[in-house]
């Protein structure tokens, strides 16, 4: 049966409230451009009918659109199905298809000269789980409504948690939003999806991603590392005493700097050689990997995400 996608476009204004710091925006031209590209790609992917498509096709379409619009992927497009909350990207020649009844998270990152915008949408082909999508989007709207410079991250988490629980659902408590810096997706500060004490206050002009994750009422509300790890990033450029591996690492640095990458991006490398080099560099701890994150009770998960820049008056939503 052909099901329509049970997700809805955000009805968000660009600024909360309607004032704007023009000097702030002028200094963030690359972030604004990255956010515009990310929003356009997200909305295209939201409207597409993905049942029967491979995850590889979805990733490559999103990433090709980013490049065509003048950006670069800030990380491999995440296409996480059902109980997998995050961090799955397509393998080379990946044959996994989206099926009728699936819940698909599409997480998109765009950078322009290292300035990153991060956004996500959940497309749902099972009406039983459309409430997860509704709750994630509602929680994101409410979080953005209260976000501004000086607001504590824990208070944003309180709003997210309250909104999700009002649906009889659970937030995923060990996933969170995050600060963003040049060429750095996770810049050290976390915006929780539950209330926490001792949290930091949002700073004017800093960049943050807010991303509620929602699972069912009988879910654990936690994720754990799965068996698959196919996203990588460089953590050190120290020499390994193996010239071949050092040359490979230099190539990775030239292409990706500190940003995450995927094996399928190395199209001009022999895939078996690239796998062997990545395995070796992982053992030497000069690159790291990001395991897929799976809901603790294997319950389905939905996600929604925007990138914001708080001001004293409100919030610039650069991915609106």
- Catalytic amino acids? 107, 118, 178, 186, 211, 305
- 3-state SS, residue 221: coil
Closest CA to 67 of 89, 91, 37, 42: 37
Q: Work out the burial of residue 217: count CB atoms within 10 Å of its CB; fewer than 13 is exposed, 13-18 middle, 19 or more buried.
A: exposed
What six digits make up the tokens of 209?
Answer: 């991603």
Spatial distance between the Cα atoms of 86 and 98, rounded to a whole number of angstroms = 16
Answer for the pair 45, 120: CB distance below 8 angstroms, yes or no: no
HSE on the CB side for 285, CA within 13 Å? 0
Answer for the pair 79, 55: CB distance below 8 angstroms, yes or no: yes
Answer for the pair 8, 306: CB distance below 8 angstroms, yes or no: no
């Amino acid at each position: 049966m052909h099901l329509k996608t049970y997700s809805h476009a955000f009805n968000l204004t660009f600024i909360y409230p309607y004032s704007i710091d023009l000097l702030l925006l002028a200094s963030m031209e690359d972030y604004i451009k990255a956010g515009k590209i990310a929003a356009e790609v997200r909305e295209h992917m939201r409207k597409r009918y993905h049942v029967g498509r491979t995850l590889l096709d979805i990733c490559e379409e999103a990433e090709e659109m980013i490049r065509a619009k003048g950006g670069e992927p800030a990380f491999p497009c995440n296409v996480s199905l059902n109980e997998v909350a995050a961090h799955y990207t397509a393998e080379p020649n990946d044959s996994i298809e989206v099926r009728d009844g699936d819940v698909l998270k599409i997480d998109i990152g765009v950078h322009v000269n290292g300035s990153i915008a991060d956004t996500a949408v959940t497309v749902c082909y099972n009406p039983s789980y459309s409430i997860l999508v509704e709750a994630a989007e509602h929680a994101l709207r409410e979080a953005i409504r209260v976000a501004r410079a000086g607001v504590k991250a824990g208070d944003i988490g309180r709003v997210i948690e309250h909104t999700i629980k009002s649906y009889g659902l659970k937030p995923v408590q060990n996933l969170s939003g995050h600060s963003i810096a040049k060429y750095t997706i996770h810049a050290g500060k976390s915006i929780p999806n539950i209330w926490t004490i001792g949290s930091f206050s949002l700073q004017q002009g800093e960049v943050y991603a807010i991303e509620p994750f929602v699972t069912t009422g009988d879910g654990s509300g936690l994720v754990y590392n799965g068996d698959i790890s196919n996203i990588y990033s460089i953590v050190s450029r120290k020499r390994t005493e193996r010239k071949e591996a050092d040359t490979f690492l230099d190539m990775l640095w030239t292409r990706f700097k500190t940003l995450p990458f995927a094996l399928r991006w190395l199209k001009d490398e022999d895939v078996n050689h690239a796998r062997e080099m990545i395995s070796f560099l992982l053992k030497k701890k000069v690159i790291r990997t990001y395991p897929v994150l799976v809901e603790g009770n294997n319950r389905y998960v939905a996600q929604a995400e925007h990138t914001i820049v708080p001001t004293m008056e409100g919030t610039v939503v650069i991915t609106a």
